[in-house]
Amino acid sequence: MDVTVRIRRYDPEVENPESYWQEYPVTMDDSATVLDALIKIREEQDGTLSLRCSCRSSICGSCAMRINGHAGLACKTQASSALTDGNTIVIEPAGVMPVVKDLVVDFSLFWDKIREVVPYLQPQGDEPEAEYIASNESMLHLSSVTACIMCGSCVSDCTVMEVDPTFLGPAALAKAYRFTADPRDGDEKGVSQERLEQLVEPTGMWDCTRCGECVSACPKGVDPMGRIMALRDQAMEAGLNNSNGARHAEAFVDIVGHSGSLNEALLPVKTVGITNIPGLMSFLPVGLRALTHGKMPPLIHPNIENVQNVRKLVKKLEDPPLD
């Protein structure tokens, strides 16, 4: 199989370093992986090519990079499945994190976020007389979360972190859920109130835009976005509703549950509060742009046809049967 591997290169040691593209023709077996191609290039064509790899078995996570614009593990990606037009594979370093050289990125940002969520159990109350017992059901629930290999693929493709590096990010929040959902963490009810209070702060769980990129990028099926949504449920069940994110979620349900469709003009008012003048004024630039581009939502928001059916569904979800 003859392929062309197009790699984004970067050498910090040259004068005025800038990234550039370099192409390499490679002949390899049909069963070869993208990592096989890169190692072949480094060993046979260009020894200056820098990349990280170790286990070659989708365990260590070292070879995370962008393949054809999306993050993934080079050792897990078959070269034959990654071919684009002209039998080309486009390789770039992982996103969000600073590039050190070629396909090697600085993971400091990633690990700093992980440390922010306190990545270990924090049981509260008196020390037990025996070991902590966790049910088999609870551990099975957490098995997919603990499968995370810290490869950084989800962080690489997170659209929020691309524009706001202060966001905790999908990896850290998924790690946080691994502990908030563990019955050995928190108080006797398994509720880690302190963790949740930290996670509802700005740059925490409510900053996720639910783009789904982290879910697609994760090579282990951890589903970071799903864990973030579960964290939101935990926070609201714990009574942590006094945040823009929580009010936004509640306002969304209230508005759709009343009229059957979203009133975009009322949503920001309910989110920040009608008495929060600075918060409302912050939406003014967005409102002006919407007005000048003909996208201002109507102020009069009628109910949809048969809205009573929507109201019944919302009420059923809010008040499920006791059984």
pLDDT tens for residues 247-257? 999 999 999 99
- What are the two backbone dihedrals, phi and then psi, of residue 70, each rounded to the nearest 5 degrees? -130, 140
Q: How far apart are CA 320 and CA 300, in angstroms?
A: 32
Confidence of residue 113 (pLDDT cuts 50, 70, 90): very high
Give residue 64's pLDDT band: very low, low, confident or very high (50, 70, 90): very high
Whether residue 108 is predicted with pLDDT greater than 60 in this model: the reply is: yes
Least confident of 167-176, 211-220, 264-273: 264-273
Domains of the chain: 2-105 (3.10.20.30), 108-237 (1.10.1060.10), 244-318 (no CATH)
Region 166-193: mean pLDDT is 85
Per-residue pLDDT at 298 = 84
Q: Which amino acid is residue 3, in one-letter code?
A: V
Would you give the DSSP letter of residue 205?
G
Task: Answer whether 81's CB lies under 8 Å from 26's CB.
Answer: no
**CA–CA separation, 66 and 290 (whole Å):** 34
CA distance 196 to 179: 11
Region 301-319: what's the mean pLDDT?
Answer: 89
Summarize pLDDT for 10-22 with one digit per residue, the tens.
999 888 899 999 9
> What's the distance, CA 160 to chain centroid?
8
pLDDT average, residue stretch 31-46: 96
**pLDDT level of residue 133 (50, 70, 90 thresholds):** confident
Q: Is the per-residue pLDDT at 241 higher than 70?
A: yes
pLDDT at residue 125 is higher than 80: no
The interaxial angle of helices 307-318 and 244-259, nearest 10 deg, is: 140
What pTM, to 2 d.p., does this model score?
0.87
pLDDT exceeding 90 applies to what percent of the chain?
66
Give the model's pLDDT for residue 321: 65
Find how far residue 166's CA is from the centre of its chain: 13
Which of 107-111, 288-292, 297-301 reaches the highest mean pLDDT?
Answer: 107-111
Distance CA 2, CA 240 (A): 57
Q: How far is Cα 28 from Cα 84, in angstroms, rounded to an integer?
A: 16
CA-nearest of 224, 198, 181, 16 to 118 is 198
Task: Give strand pairing partners of 160.
Answer: none
